[in-house]
Structure 1
Amino acid sequence: MSDDGVREPRTPHVHVSSTMEDVAAAAGVSRTSVSRVMLGQKKVSEETRRRVFAAAEHLGYVPNVLASELASRGTSTVGLLLRDASNPAYGLLFTRLQEAAHAADLTLVTMTINADDQGRRQVAGLHRLMGLRVAGLIVATGGVTSHQLEPFHSQIPIIRAGRPETTSLIHAVSYDEVHAGRSLAHCVADAGHREVAVLATAEDVSFPEYVRSTTMAATLVGRGVEVISVPLGDDAHDGVGAAVALARDGRVGAIMCPSDLRQLQVLRALAAVGLTAPADVSVSGCDGVLPGADLLGLTTYRIPVEELAVRTVARMSDLLSQEPTPGVVAERLRGALVRGRTVGPPSPRKAS
């Protein structure tokens, strides 16, 4: 009670030197049970979990999860390097990976990187995750090359999530980007288009988008379609503006984009010059996870994010087991074409 008669809030009985053994003794459980509770594992009862948390709160105990795992030679903390989480595809993947990891009793320590210089910041992020003594690494970014990952391969289990792997050394569960590119190209060609602009992402900017772009262009050429490749440089709007100019001048009847975010940029730029899709020009994208894509009627390709997350975590769990499955993981998961309203027959509009 304070001098003015007001009851003061109750505080925990803090022991600065409290240990996991102290919590175990106070809760009447084993040290292993305390460790499992603190790591969020499911191998304890709700009653045990309640008693451990109550004891920890009373003692003011703050767990050092990484140190605990190292001491017990545990393997439940995995580093996750994620490309820009503001991108809907990566944001959804992050959520699904977290859910899958929780179900598998794994803890993810995550770093996200946005702008980068040829993957250098992302590689630095991997080194920082390694410094946390994680048991494995999940690399969910298209901006790190196979060559950049190889030094980590010999030190720790590492698996790509999303990007197709170009070597036989690195484990990968990826989207089938070739199938995505072909499916979209056939959709546009089947609509009757014979002059198409393809927005092309550089390989060192986003390898998945690079594969999509090159596959779309090659498939269209194989169908007898004239393709104008429009590079997407550091300022993506420059490429978008060039593609819209081609449509405005009547040189192309369709614009194919390597992602739905690019597709939205194109649709906005078209609207700014008085053009609409598909009445004046057809537009396609890729990813299919953009919130509201169905309401907008986007023609796109839906990548299997949920399946990828589950398969990636399952593979990582296997790699961390005492007897991992031999061989290099190389899974490619197919999505599905979404026939929206932004691709239609060529417009009869003549160039002015």
Structure 2
Amino acid sequence: MTDAPDRPPLRVTISDVAAAAGVSRATATRALKGEGRFAEQTRARILDISERLGYVPNTMAAELAAGRTGTVGLLLRDASNPAYGLLFSCLQDEANRCGLDLVTVTIGADSGGTKQVTALQRLLGMRVAGLIVATGGVTNAQLEPFADQVPIIRAGRDATGDRVHSVAYDEQSHGALLAAHVHSLGHRRVAVLATDPAASFPEHVRVTAMREHLESAGVEVTPIAVGAGPAEGVDAALALASAGRVTAVMCPSDYRQLAVLRAARDAGMRVPADFSVTGCDGILPGADLLGLTTVRVPVEAVARETVAAMQHLLDTDSDSDDLVRRSYAGPLVAGTTAAVLL
């Protein structure tokens, strides 16, 4: 029996060609387009390797770079969440304005991110020119294998490593801003609902920033571990407030803040007379009427810059080796659920 002949991978990327030729992706791209100034032997080597590997240019990306319609895959967390729903609307508006088509997949509960990884694979099967990932439920390590196929940007969450781009909310600033506000109101014993990073990494980052800021200011912080459920930890928080052990409860989302407010009402406790409560997001409909103390995340800025960054990455005249790392902080909404400690 003879060995089967070596075959190139099903989808050879420009990164494969560049690596085999010992040049950057930008150099390989320009050489294949007949642009730029290169030694003739360099161009010939790149062309030869491209042909030998069976590289086929991504025509969707080329069309987008030329100003024509392109298609990008969007993986979105549960759109019923107002923060993700607004992000979807803003991304769609920006894409339409720029002549970019979005193919969207929405994933709800997904332990470990396996469903989301499968969704990304389906989007790649549609030959999309790039991927936008607007969910905190999939890790950077899970995203990295896709980065050799198409440009990939996290929208709303920081990325790590040198392959995945990000246009993020500055959750550390948001957590610190809320903690500084609670401290300025005179609270020195505070409970914080501490979200497990596997349940929501953005909430985890907010909570970590809250705790660090409060503890550095000498505040006694009582963490309450919670998972994905918005009502988790609420009974424990109310018990601490009822016993006078804390004067404020800080929540890493407005959904959790509402759960605390409902439970306080049912228990006959008054907010903020008996204890103060804060959240984060600022997107819930009627949040202003409810007087929620929160931070309004900058959804519009993140959507605008995400689409602009994707266009830049899909422009084959640009050096896609340059990582996009941008973050935006939103303003404090003082509200009425947190008050000066008397």
Q: TM-score, normalised by structure 1?
A: 0.77
Query: Are 2:269 and 1:301 aligned?
Result: no
Does the CA contact (< 8 Å) of 2:61 and 2:129 recur in 1?
Answer: no
Structure 2 residue identity aligned to 1:204: A
Separation of aligned partners in 1, 2:293 and 2:160 = 29
Aligned to 1:290: 284
Separation of aligned partners in 2, 1:180 and 1:263 = 15
Structure 1 residue identity aligned to 2:186: G
Question: CA shift at 1:198, angstroms?
Answer: 0.4
Aligned to 1:80: 74
Aligned to 1:346: 341
Query: Are 2:228 and 1:239 aligned?
Result: no
Query: Are 2:325 and 1:336 aligned?
Result: no
SS of the aligned residue for 1:238 comes to coil
Moved >4 Å (runs of 4+): 69-73
Aligned to 1:274: 268
Separation of aligned partners in 2, 1:225 and 1:197 = 10
Does the CA contact (< 8 Å) of 1:203 and 1:210 recur in 2?
Answer: yes
Task: Please show how residues 139-178 of structure 1 align to structure 2 within 5 Å.
Answer: 139-178=133-172
Does the CA contact (< 8 Å) of 1:85 and 1:94 recur in 2?
Answer: yes
Aligned to 1:257: 251
Cα-Cα RMSD: 1.6
Question: CA shift at 1:323, angstroms?
Answer: 1.4
Aligned to 2:4: none
Structure 2 residue identity aligned to 1:341: T
Task: Please show how residues 95-110 of structure 1 align to structure 2 within 5 Å.
Answer: 95-110=89-104
Match among 212, 215, 224 for residue 209 of structure 2? 215
Q: TM-score, normalised by structure 2?
A: 0.79
1:74-96 CA deviation, whole Å, 9 max, x = no partner?
34100000011011100000000
SS of the aligned residue for 1:203 comes to coil
Question: CA shift at 1:345, angstroms?
Answer: 2.0
Separation of aligned partners in 2, 1:80 and 1:149 = 13
Structure 1 residue identity aligned to 2:208: T
Structure 2 residue identity aligned to 1:89: A
1:259-305 CA deviation, whole Å, 9 max, x = no partner?
11111111001111111211111000101111111111111001110
C-alpha spacing 1:333/1:241, structure 2 compared with 1 (3 Å)? same
Question: CA shift at 1:234, angstroms?
Answer: 4.7
Equivalences, count: 279
Match among 199, 222, 242 for residue 228 of structure 1? 222
Structure 2 residue identity aligned to 1:345: V
Match among 122, 131, 148 for residue 125 of structure 2? 131
Aligned to 2:305: 311
Does the CA contact (< 8 Å) of 1:79 and 1:136 recur in 2?
Answer: yes
Separation of aligned partners in 2, 1:234 and 1:317 = 34
Moved more, 225-234 or 106-115: 225-234
SS of the aligned residue for 1:118 comes to helix
Task: Please show how residues 6-25 of structure 1 align to structure 2 within 5 Å.
Answer: none
**Structure 2 residue runs without a partner (length 5+):** 1-57, 65-69
Structure 2 residue identity aligned to 1:218: E
Task: Please show how residues 175-190 of structure 1 align to structure 2 within 5 Å.
Answer: 175-190=169-184
Question: CA shift at 1:242, angstroms?
Answer: 1.2
Aligned to 1:196: 190
C-alpha spacing 1:235/1:302, structure 2 compared with 1 (3 Å)? closer
* Sequence identity percentage: 56
Moved more, 239-248 or 99-108: 239-248
**Structure 1 residue runs without a partner (length 5+):** 1-68, 348-352
Separation of aligned partners in 2, 1:249 and 1:79 = 50
Task: Please show how residues 53-64 of structure 1 align to structure 2 within 5 Å.
Answer: none
Aligned to 2:314: 320
Structure 2 residue identity aligned to 1:122: Q
Question: CA shift at 1:322, angstroms?
Answer: 2.2
1:108-154 CA deviation, whole Å, 9 max, x = no partner?
00001110011111111111111111110000001111100010011
Question: CA shift at 1:237, angstroms?
Answer: 2.0
Structure 2 residue identity aligned to 1:248: S
SS of the aligned residue for 1:227 comes to strand
Does the CA contact (< 8 Å) of 1:318 and 1:325 recur in 2?
Answer: no
C-alpha spacing 1:328/1:71, structure 2 compared with 1 (3 Å)? closer
SS of the aligned residue for 1:237 comes to coil
Structure 1 residue identity aligned to 2:190: V
1:216-268 CA deviation, whole Å, 9 max, x = no partner?
01110011000010111254423122111111121110000111111111100
1:162-215 CA deviation, whole Å, 9 max, x = no partner?
011232321000010010000000000110001101011111111111100111
Separation of aligned partners in 1, 2:215 and 2:266 = 30
| Greater relative CO (CA pairs within 8 A, separation 6+) | 2
SS of the aligned residue for 1:335 comes to coil
